[in-house]
């Protein structure tokens, strides 16, 4: 569903992402992890078509995001870490606006179901200034999922959510994957990645360090197979010794 081949992103002389290739099949949840400055957000923005790649190809559902962005983006949802909402649009009007952009005819029914699922049914007439940080994040998620995307990119989706919201979000991700949606989840919360993701991609300095199922990556970096994802991460990024010191 999501195919990336030789993705490069350069800013002048600086290379943020360097020759990145991977695939996320329908029903898979890929955890994208890496230290700060690894190129995670740049990668996600290139995948979502927000910024153009310097080199390489990104295909969403077989559609090239550079040559056929409309068809590719129609199947995609990008949910950023920081919810950015229109100051003067209510919760429901945000969904209406998104429905216009994605041409979702039955947005009212879908919106109601999503708001119910995210426990925001009673907030539909509120403006963003009246919502908490977690509620804003939930609204951003609802906007992203309104058009029933086949590929979802989540950048730190749990920021600001309460324990109920976190549990619901995890269940939503599992349900979406079960429905055949390909998900990329970028997070620093390794426990979350370990719990939810089926696959793992570790980035450092714009380059891929590891890519595969969680079990494969674990087996590659921890021979005993018993190590936590945190141990795997530190071994992969080569910072275990530094931390012990």
Residues that bind other proteins (CB under 8 A): 48-52, 69-74, 76-78, 80, 83-90, 93, 96-98, 100-106, 110, 127, 129, 140, 143, 147-148
Nearest to 156 by CA among 189, 194, 191, 120: 189
CA distance 38 to 47: 16
Kindly tell me which of 8 and 219 has the beta carbon lying closer to other proteins.
8
3-state SS, one letter per residue, for 180-228 = CCEEEEECCCHHHHHHHCCEEEEEECCEEEEEEEHHHHHHHHCCCCCCC
CB of 116 to other proteins, least distance (A): 16
CB of 188 to other proteins, least distance (A): 21
CB of 184 to other proteins, least distance (A): 13
User: Is there a contact between 138 and 121 (Cβ–Cβ < 8 Å)?
Assistant: no
Kindly tell me which of 14 and 245 has the beta carbon lying closer to other proteins.
14
CB of 145 to other proteins, least distance (A): 10
CA-angle at 145, arms to 147 and 38, nearest 5°: 125
Kindly tell me which of 105 and 245 has the beta carbon lying closer to other proteins.
105
Kindly tell me which of 98 and 202 has the beta carbon lying closer to other proteins.
98
Kindly tell me which of 103 and 245 has the beta carbon lying closer to other proteins.
103
**Structural element, H or E, at residue 15:** strand 14-24
CB of 121 to other proteins, least distance (A): 19
Q: Are strands 29-33 and 199-204 parallel, antiparallel or unpaired?
A: parallel
CB of 94 to other proteins, least distance (A): 8
Kindly tell me which of 103 and 178 has the beta carbon lying closer to other proteins.
103
Q: In the beta sheet, which residues pair with residue 207?
A: 204
And the tokens for 37?
A: 């400055």
User: Is there a contact between 230 and 193 (Cβ–Cβ < 8 Å)?
Assistant: no
């Amino acid at each position: 569903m999501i195919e990336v081949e030789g993705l490069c992103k350069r800013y002048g002389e600086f290379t943020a992402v360097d020759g990145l290739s991977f695939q996320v099949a329908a029903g898979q949840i890929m955890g994208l992890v890496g230290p700060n400055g690894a190129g995670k957000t740049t990668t996600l923005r290139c995948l979502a078509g927000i910024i153009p790649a310097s080199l390489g190809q990104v295909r969403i559902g077989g559609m090239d995001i550079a040559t056929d962005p409309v068809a590719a983006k129609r199947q995609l949802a990008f949910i950023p870490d920081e919810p950015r909402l229109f100051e003067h649009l209510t919760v429901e009007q945000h969904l209406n606006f998104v429905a216009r952009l994605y041409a979702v005819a039955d947005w009212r029914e879908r919106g109601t179901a999503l708001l119910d699922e995210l426990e925001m049914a009673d907030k539909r007439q509120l403006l963003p200034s009246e919502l908490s940080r977690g509620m804003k994040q939930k609204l951003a998620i609802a906007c992203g999922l309104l058009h029933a995307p086949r590929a979802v990119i989540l950048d730190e989706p749990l920021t600001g959510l309460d324990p109920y919201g976190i549990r619901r979000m995890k269940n939503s991700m599992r349900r979406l994957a079960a429905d055949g949606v390909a998900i990329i989840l970028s997070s620093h919360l390794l426990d979350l990645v370990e719990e939810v993701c089926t696959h793992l991609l570790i980035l450092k300095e714009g380059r891929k360090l590891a890519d595969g199922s969680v079990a494969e990556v674990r087996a590659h970096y921890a021979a005993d197979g018993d190590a936590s994802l945190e141990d795997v991460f530190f071994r992969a990024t080569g910072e275990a010794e530094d931390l012990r010191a």
